[in-house]
Amino acid sequence: VFPGLGGMSCQNVLLQNNSTLPLTFCLSHASNTWRDSLSMLPGCGLIPPGDHQIITIRLLPTEDSPEQGLR
């Protein structure tokens, strides 16, 4: 659930790599229309096969935030 304008929401998410290959992830601010409202820690990383990474996603909507989802 997204908060209203000026409200902040934080969620922890578990990324699990069930494959036999390393998994990379990165929140690219270059193509992210939510760049001023969305942050993720860690922002980038590598998850070895069979391992996992917990990430924290923070959303702080503003009047300029897009009304549609992420790209």
Instruction: Please name each of the domains of the chain with its CATH number.
Output: 9-59 (2.60.40.10)
Rounded to two decimals, the pTM is: 0.68
Query: Tokens 């000026």 correspond to what residue?
Result: 6
**Cα-based distances in Å from 23 to 16, 41, 53, 65:** 9, 16, 10, 29
Percent of the chain with pLDDT over 70: 69
Average the pLDDT over 40-52 and give the result: 95
CA dist 28 to 3, 13, 44, 64, 69, Å? 23, 18, 9, 19, 15
Tell me the pLDDT band of 49, cut-offs 50, 70 and 90: very high
- If you ran DSSP here, which 8-state letter would residue 40 be given? E
Does 71 score more than 50 pLDDT? Answer: no
Is the Cβ–Cβ distance between 30 and 13 less than 8 Å? no
